[in-house]
Structure 1
Amino acid sequence: MVNVRHVKVKNLLSPTKLGADFVINPYIGCPHGCHYCYAAGITRERGGRAEPWGTFLDVKHPAVPFDPAKIFHKEILLSSMTDAYNPYEERAQATRAILRSLLPAQPDITIITKSALVTRDIDLFKEFPHVKVIVSFSSLDDGFRRKMEPHASSPQKKFAALAALKEAGIGTSVMAAPIFPGITDCAALIEAAAPHVSEMNFDTLNLRNQNRESILAIVNTLRPELTGLYNEIYRQWRKDYWQTLRGEIKDNCRRFAVRASVFF
């Protein structure tokens, strides 16, 4: 059960340095409930909802509409602190309404999501000068996905969404993040994604004080044979694992003619 509120905010636009001019987060919280999500701790630090992550959602309603002159032909990211296509979006259509209101300014749009629901808005995407949808994967193992990110779309549905987006002429990319050592099969993910994308991004699983023990406990339960590896990486700060993986990722991306951006 997700506790949903509707809240008034001053505006939806925030300046960002995340590869765009502005970021829009239509919601506070995210029903995908990913156990590793960095936004959970940040939301609490900023005085947001205190319930367990994944059990609450605030739908934002801005006090003033977008100023088209301010965002004319700018670059806008959806989103950095929530998933604009979380399961509740199917009902609320907050993200779809935002896209409609952005159309007069004709900005470039980048979307990061774990949801196949993104294909619903292909009709709107075609009305912008450029839209790129980045679909995020942490694993191809759907059993692991159900435990670690319980309400995100399955890998199979994500690949179907990528195929539909590409067929519609929408820009596509894949983000392999977070990479779980010994669980995320980057080579298999690159091979599976290559027919749908020309670029991929890769980032590590970064554990923070507020989620370190809970994530390690989940991994220990699901994959006890990896306990030693995770202790080496996250308690003894072993570095060579990521250095080796970086080389393997670049080799496999070259093999499949995929551009790689590795953030570790």
Structure 2
Amino acid sequence: MDKYRGKELFIGSVTDPYNPQEETYLRTQTLLKELQGSGVKLTIQTKSDLVLRDIDLIKTFPDARVGFSINTLDDDFKNDMDQAVSIERRLTAMKQLHDAGIRTTCFIAPIFPGITDVEAIIDRVKDQCNLIWLENLNLRGSYKTDILGYIREKHPQLVPLYEEIYLRSNRLYWEVLNSTLHSYATEHKLDYVRNDDSMTRPFDAPPVVVNFFYHEEIKKSAKKGVK
């Protein structure tokens, strides 16, 4: 097991590790039990409060962090996007984990232009998480067609905005949002950065806000050594 010591393990980047099947088959719980004492740096990403079942188990990992995907406070919009548990249940689970001494993340992604109220979400979570991660909505392939169709059907007033962003590649919306959020973070004494250093900060410190807009470009720049 020493081969895992100090390495980072991210559970939930593709499939939610606490989907409904986990309640029956316990695959995530079994994996966590196998990794106990390994020294791995554990991050779990989920949309489910089922993670609370394993709170005592997660606490045995010294560098554990649990993130919740929350890109809206409106359950009607949430239900259009996924069938996971309600936003309120996610927020309650986040608070319980944080109160138990486990570092938590609010993953505000993807940010839907004109729909996701980023400031309202930060206001709601800033006292119960250590990291707030921001990522813009990227549309590719059939997903682009599906989402633009959804906007035309459910939010027709936003069609011009989405066409400007996703058909004409205009970044003005994201540039303005970045500036607005930077000002908001400054006003509320939150660090607004590109790189996550929240694990090195005191647990009770205010959360770090990480802007990961256009993340593919950020990754390419990092590989080239560009800051």
Q: TM-score range by the shorter chain?
A: 0.7 to 0.9
Counterpart among 190, 198, 211 of residue 262 in structure 1? 211
Report how far residue 77 of structure 1 moved: 0.9
Report how far residue 218 of structure 1 moved: 1.2
Q: Structure 2: which 5+ residue stretches go unaligned?
A: 191-206, 214-227
Q: Do the aligned partners of residues 198 and 253 (structure 1) sit closer, same or farther apart at CA in structure 2, a change above 3 Å counting?
A: farther
Partner of 2:17: 84
Between the aligned partners of 2:131 and 2:187, the Cα distance in structure 1 is: 13
Report how far residue 209 of structure 1 moved: 1.1
Equivalent pair of 1:178/1:205 in contact (CA under 8 Å)? yes
TM-score by length of 2: 0.82
Equivalent pair of 2:71/2:118 in contact (CA under 8 Å)? no
Partner of 2:79: 146
Equivalent pair of 2:22/2:28 in contact (CA under 8 Å)? yes
Partner of 1:216: 148
TM-score by length of 1: 0.71
Equivalent pair of 1:253/1:259 in contact (CA under 8 Å)? no
Between the aligned partners of 1:190 and 1:206, the Cα distance in structure 2 is: 21
Partner of 1:187: 119
Between the aligned partners of 1:168 and 1:81, the Cα distance in structure 2 is: 27
Q: Do the aligned partners of residues 94 and 216 (structure 1) sit closer, same or farther apart at CA in structure 2, a change above 3 Å counting?
A: same
Corresponding residue pairs, total: 196
Counterpart among 4, 8, 29 of residue 96 in structure 1? 29
SS at match of 2:91: helix
Between the aligned partners of 1:193 and 1:144, the Cα distance in structure 2 is: 19
Report how far residue 255 of structure 1 moved: 3.1
Equivalent pair of 1:190/1:252 in contact (CA under 8 Å)? no
Equivalent pair of 2:37/2:61 in contact (CA under 8 Å)? no
Tell me the amino acid that sits aligned with residue 81 of structure 1. Answer: V
Q: Do the aligned partners of residues 253 and 89 (structure 1) sit closer, same or farther apart at CA in structure 2, a change above 3 Å counting?
A: farther
Equivalent pair of 1:198/1:259 in contact (CA under 8 Å)? yes
SS at match of 1:238: coil
Partner of 2:202: none
Report how far residue 182 of structure 1 moved: 0.3
Report how far residue 79 of structure 1 moved: 2.3
Counterpart among 108, 124, 129 of residue 197 in structure 1? 129
Report how far residue 212 of structure 1 moved: 0.8
Between the aligned partners of 2:38 and 2:24, the Cα distance in structure 1 is: 26
SS at match of 2:42: strand
Higher helix share: 2
SS at match of 1:210: helix
Superposition misfits of 4+ residues, deviation over 6 angstroms: none
SS at match of 2:6: coil
Equivalent pair of 1:179/1:205 in contact (CA under 8 Å)? yes
Between the aligned partners of 2:54 and 2:183, the Cα distance in structure 1 is: 35
Between the aligned partners of 2:187 and 2:88, the Cα distance in structure 1 is: 23
Partner of 2:40: 107
Between the aligned partners of 2:92 and 2:187, the Cα distance in structure 1 is: 23
Between the aligned partners of 1:119 and 1:201, the Cα distance in structure 2 is: 21
SS at match of 1:121: helix
Partner of 2:110: 178
> For 1:170-218, what per-residue CA distance to the aligned partner results, in whole angstroms no more than 9, with x for missing partners?
1011111000000000010110111111321100111111211111111
Between the aligned partners of 1:116 and 1:88, the Cα distance in structure 2 is: 14
Report how far residue 153 of structure 1 moved: 2.0
Partner of 1:132: 65
> For 1:210-230, what per-residue CA distance to the aligned partner results, in whole angstroms no more than 9, with x for missing partners?
211111111221211111111
Residues 1:155 and 2:87 are matched in the alignment: yes
Between the aligned partners of 1:131 and 1:198, the Cα distance in structure 2 is: 12
Equivalent pair of 2:42/2:65 in contact (CA under 8 Å)? yes
